[in-house]
Structure 1
């Protein structure tokens, strides 16, 4: 555990510049202000839900958040030659295309109508929504890793490692009081739990906890490709090009994928994303991040369930 704190300190010592971090903070504040003042994602981007332009709009949002952040890092660290790197454009392009298609994917809606003739449409929709990342993120990144990446030492941090697991467990434990506090806030209960009662348990003639468990497992899975892309591909993989500079731009893009969530969650994603990014770079593994990410997600679900049953 001490080695991980040392790695975090060394990363800050090497990467931190007051002008860079201040400029990046201003860029993030601008993004957050525009989104939460204008309700940008929900009112503008998501108004094209199901249309071919939907993933294109997401691409525009994510590319803007990411490339401006990369420019800031390369400018303040005097690494502007990075923009001439084909590998940088190829890797970042793959990541942006994959996640934009994932964010704007809607074929699962039609698939849900076809399963059991649409009798469990809502349940199937939400489960398939969480599982579609197998096609849109995991498979493309695996093919890139297998046939294109010239440095295939591991599948972007998917190799299990024990280094730092104790620290990750402590960090997860520290989140429990924060989750408990958040569960009393109206905007939190407006978003959680993400599971909603459907007729699926009646259709399958099983207790509702069975269908709730199936949904939560699908919901938990969705964090695997998120960690794989952001901490695995964009940090461990992109470090071949940007070195330690892979972390900060990833954090800004990672924050932007929370624009449809409560403001507090979007802001907290900056700190969580930064810490998980540095630790992934240190351990060359995303398993600790998965422990925290899925643990927090299920923790918020459980807290919201307890709040709803206590009313």
Structure 2
């Protein structure tokens, strides 16, 4: 744990510049203000959920946020070379295209409609909406890794590592009392459990716990592509690309491990915040802090398993707390 905390302090010393972080905060505040004032996602992009133009809208929104933040980062870290680096453009554009396509993907609606019984349709719709990332994110990134990635150091952090597990356990443990308290609030119970008003077990003639378990596994999987692309592809993967043009001063600093040179965490969290634009404002703001911590930890451990552990753990704890409330004495 001490080693991990030392790595985090080393990264902050290398990357933190008051003006950079202040201007990045203003950039994020501007993007958030535009979205929540004009309802960019809920009122414009999602107005036509089956439109083939949705991925294009998402690409424009994500690219504006991400490259704007990267421009600030490159200016303050004196890295104009990244804009002349074809690998930087190829790597980041792959991420933007893949995630924009994932966000605007709607073919799973047709997949679910193959089930004529509404009880099966609703269940299949929710399960497919969580699983389509297998073909929209994992498959494209896998092909990129096999045919284009020149740094074969593991599939973007999916190799399990023990480093940092205690920190992740502590972070998840801190959330337990918060989730328990929230589970007694009416607005929490209006949203959770997400497995509700579905009776596919009646059609399939199986115990309900089987269909509930299948749903929860698919629900948990939906966090895998998020961590894979944001902490794996955009932090771990891109850090190798950025190191090729790092200044000699950064490379030779004895206080900063080579894998913790100023990297792509700050621009990543700006884009990460935009994927929460359809959710409550508080969730969008908190994603900045959570995304930053997970990004630095991923850079330090070269693994995304800690982020997966926290994300999936919190999601399932919230589901479990809501299910528990159904049996709690009123």
TM over 0.5: yes
The 3 A distance-change label for structure 1 pair 302 and 271 is same
- Provide the C-alpha distance between the structure 2 equivalents of 1:305 and 1:99, rounded to a whole number of angstroms: 32
Deviation at 1:183, TM superposition (A): 3.8
Match of 2:279 in 1: 261
Give the TM-score normalised by structure 2: 0.89
Task: Point out the structure with the larger helix share.
Answer: 1
Matched, 1:167 2:167: yes
The 3 A distance-change label for structure 1 pair 211 and 189 is same
Deviation at 1:214, TM superposition (A): 1.0
Deviation at 1:264, TM superposition (A): 1.9
Match of 1:211 in 2: 211
- What pairs with 1:1-311 in structure 2 (closer than 5 Å)? 1-115=1-115, 120-184=120-184, 187-243=187-243, 244-307=262-325, 310=328
Measured against aligned partners, the alpha-carbon deviations of 1:139-192 in whole angstroms (never above 9, x if no partner) come to 110111111101111101111111111111111111122323444555544443
Tell me the SS of whatever aligns to 2:114. Answer: helix
Q: Which moved more, 1:30-39 or 1:120-129?
A: 30-39
The 3 A distance-change label for structure 1 pair 263 and 180 is farther
Tell me the SS of whatever aligns to 2:263. Answer: helix
- Provide the C-alpha distance between the structure 1 equivalents of 2:233 and 2:23, rounded to a whole number of angstroms: 25
Q: Which runs of 4+ in 1 moved over 6 A?
A: none
Q: Which moved more, 1:175-184 or 1:140-149?
A: 175-184
Deviation at 1:308, TM superposition (A): 5.5
Q: Contact conserved, 1:256 with 1:266, CA < 8 A, in 2?
A: yes
Q: Contact conserved, 1:55 with 1:100, CA < 8 A, in 2?
A: yes
Measured against aligned partners, the alpha-carbon deviations of 1:79-106 in whole angstroms (never above 9, x if no partner) come to 1221111111100110011111111110
- Provide the C-alpha distance between the structure 2 equivalents of 1:287 and 1:142, rounded to a whole number of angstroms: 17
Unmatched 5+ stretches in structure 1 = none
Give the count of matched residue pairs. Answer: 311
RMSD between aligned residues: 1.8
Tell me the SS of whatever aligns to 2:264. Answer: helix
Q: Contact conserved, 2:67 with 2:267, CA < 8 A, in 1?
A: yes
Deviation at 1:39, TM superposition (A): 2.6
Q: Contact conserved, 2:119 with 2:198, CA < 8 A, in 1?
A: no
- Provide the C-alpha distance between the structure 2 equivalents of 1:9 and 1:112, rounded to a whole number of angstroms: 48
Unmatched 5+ stretches in structure 2 = 244-261
